[in-house]
C-alpha cells in the first residue's frame, strides 16, 4: 500500500541541523505504513550524508549531484509515493503533531489542494524565537484580483517548511524549472494557491535563520546579494509563465505578482545593471499595472519618452535619473501636461 504522507526533506550541507529536522519528522508519531520519509541530498560535501544514514532504514536517502532546490524537488517528487506531500528544509524542524493536524484538515476540507500555516522564526545567532502568525485561518485562491491580493498578504505562510500539497498538484508543476537554485517553493505554492489552499493560524514549524541561509544577507555580502537579486527576478519570470499556463486570469496574476516583481527587477537593474530591454519591459509592466485606462497622451509619454530613455541609457543611469526626477517632484509637471489632459 502507498503511504498516506511523504515527508520530503531537501538538504545541502546541513550537518549542524539535519538531525533535528529528521527527529522532528520521526516524532510525528506516524507508522512507516502511514508516513514515508524521503531525504533528497543535493550534493552535500559535509557530514550530512553520514548523519542521514543513522536514520536508515526508516529514512530513505536519495543522493544527487548538486543542482539547487528545484532539481532536488523534481527528484523528490518523482521518488515520493504519498498522496500528501509535506515539505521540510533540512535546516528547519516541525512541531509535534504537525502532520496529524495537516492530515485532519485536508480530510475535513477535501476541496483544498494543500495548506500552509503560521510558524516560528528561530534566530540561530541569538537563540531567540518570534512568532510569524495570523489571527484567523484563511482560504486562498486566485479566482479574482481581490482574492489574489489577499493571497499575497498570506504568501509568507506558504514557505517551504510550512507547505503541504496533495499529489494532484504535482501534475500541474513538474518539472519545476531548475534555474531556480533556490526559491523553488514559490511555483509549488503558486500552483497550490491557484487550485485553492488553506492557511492555518496554528504555528506548526520552526524556520531557522542563520548565516548560511541563501536569503540571509549581511554587511559586505555583495556577491550573495547579487545572486539573491538575480534569483528573485528569475523566480517572478517563472511564476508569470506558470500561472498563465495554469489558466489564471491576467488580472489575478498582476494583483499577485506585479508589485513585488517590479520592485525586485528595479532593485537588480539599479544596483547591478543588466540589459536595457529588461529596463524597458520592467517600466512598461509597472505602467500597465498602475494605469488600466491611461489617456492617449499619457500612453504616448510613457512609451515615447520613458520607453526611449530606458533604451538609451544604461539601467543604472536610467534609475539614477529616475531618482533625480522624483526628488524634484517633476511628476507634477508631467501630470499637468499629460495625465490630466
Percent of the chain with pLDDT over 70: 94
Percent of the chain with pLDDT over 90: 82
Domain boundary among 164, 184, 209: 209
Q: What is the average pLDDT value for the chain, to the nearest integer?
A: 93
**Residue 212 predicted with pLDDT over 80:** no
Instruction: Identify the domain containing residue 301 by its residue range.
Output: 275-341
For the packed helices 315-327 and 276-290, what is the interaxial angle rounded to 10 degrees?
40
Per-residue pLDDT band at 325 (split at 50, 70, 90): confident
Decide: residue 215, CB within 10 A, 0-12 exposed, 13-18 middle, 19+ buried. exposed
Output the domain CATH number for residue 128.
Answer: 3.90.550.10
- Tell me, what's the pLDDT at 219? 52
Minimal CA–CA distance to 11: which of 57, 59, 81, 58? 59
Q: Show the CA angle centred on residue 77, arms to residues 76 and 81, nearest 5°.
A: 100
Q: Mean of the pLDDT values across residues 308-316? A: 96
Q: Which residue is listed with cell 518539472? A: 175
Distance in angstroms (rounded) separating the CA atoms of residues 147 and 151: 6
In this structure, the answer to whether residues 302 and 205 fall within a common structural domain is no
In this structure, the answer to whether residues 59 and 164 fall within a common structural domain is yes
Domain boundary among 209, 230, 257: 209
Q: Mean of the pLDDT values across residues 158-182? A: 95
Domain count within the chain: 2
- Tell me, what's the pLDDT at 216? 55
pTM (whole model) above 0.75: yes
- Tell me, what's the pLDDT at 340? 53
- Tell me, what's the pLDDT at 235? 96
- Tell me, what's the pLDDT at 331? 63
Instruction: Determine which of 108-112, 211-215, 289-293 has the lowest per-residue pLDDT on average.
Output: 211-215
Distance in angstroms (rounded) separating the CA atoms of residues 124 and 38: 25
Show the cell assigned to 323. 531618482
In this structure, the answer to whether residues 286 and 188 fall within a common structural domain is no
- Tell me, what's the pLDDT at 1? 65
**Residue 222 predicted with pLDDT over 90:** no
Please report which residue ranges of 93-144 form alpha helices under DSSP H.
98-108
In this structure, the answer to whether residues 188 and 103 fall within a common structural domain is yes
Distance in angstroms (rounded) separating the CA atoms of residues 111 and 104: 13
Amino acid at each position: 500500500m502507498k503511504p498516506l504522507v511523504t515527508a520530503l526533506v531537501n538538504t545541502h550541507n546541513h550537518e549542524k541541523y539535519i538531525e533535528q529536522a529528521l527527529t522532528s519528522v520521526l516524532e510525528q508519531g506516524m507508522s512507516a505504513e502511514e508516513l514515508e520519509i524521503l531525504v533528497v541530498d543535493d550534493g552535500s560535501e559535509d557530514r550530512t550524508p553520514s548523519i542521514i544514514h543513522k536514520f536508515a532504514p526508516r529514512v530513505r536517502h536519495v543522493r544527487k549531484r548538486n543542482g539547487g532546490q528545484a532539481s532536488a524537488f523534481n527528484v523528490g517528487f518523482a521518488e515520493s509515493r504519498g498522496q500528501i506531500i509535506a515539505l521540510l528544509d533540512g535546516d528547519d524542524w516541525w512541531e509535534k503533531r504537525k502532520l496529524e493536524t495537516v492530515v485532519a484538515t485536508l480530510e475535513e476540507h477535501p476541496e483544498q489542494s494543500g495548506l500552509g500555516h503560521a510558524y516560528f522564526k528561530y534566530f540561530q545567532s541569538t537563540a531567540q524565537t518570534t512568532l510569524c502568525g495570523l489571527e484567523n485561518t484563511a482560504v486562498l485562491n486566485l479566482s479574482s484580483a481581490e482574492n489574489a491580493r489577499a493571497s499575497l498578504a498570506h504568501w509568507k505562510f506558504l514557505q517551504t517548511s510550512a507547505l503541504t500539497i496533495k499529489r494532484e498538484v504535482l501534475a500541474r508543476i513538474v518539472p519545476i524549472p531548475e534555474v531556480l537554485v533556490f526559491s523553488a517553493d514559490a511555483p509549488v505554492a503558486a500552483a497550490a494557491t491557484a487550485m485553492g489552499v488553506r492557511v492555518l493560524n496554528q504555528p506548526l514549524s520552526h524556520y531557522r535563520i542563520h548565516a548560511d541561509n541563501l536569503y540571509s544577507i549581511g554587511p559586505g555580502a555583495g556577491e550573495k546579494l547579487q545572486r539573491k537579486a538575480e534569483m528573485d527576478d528569475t523566480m517572478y519570470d517563472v511564476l508569470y509563465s506558470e500561472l498563465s499556463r495554469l489558466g489564471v486570469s491576467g488580472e489575478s496574476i498582476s494583483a499577485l505578482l506585479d508589485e513585488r516583481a517590479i520592485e525586485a527587477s528595479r532593485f537588480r537593474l539599479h544596483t547591478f545593471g543588466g540589459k536595457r530591454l529588461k529596463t524597458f519591459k520592467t517600466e512598461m509592466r509597472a505602467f500597465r499595472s498602475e494605469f488600466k485606462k491611461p489617456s492617449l497622451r499619457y500612453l504616448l509619454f510613457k512609451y515615447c519618452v520613458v520607453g526611449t530613455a530606458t533604451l538609451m541609457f544604461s539601467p543604472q543611469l536610467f534609475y539614477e535619473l529616475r531618482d533625480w526626477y522624483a526628488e524634484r517632484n517633476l511628476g507634477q509637471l508631467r501630470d499637468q501636461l499629460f495625465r490630466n489632459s
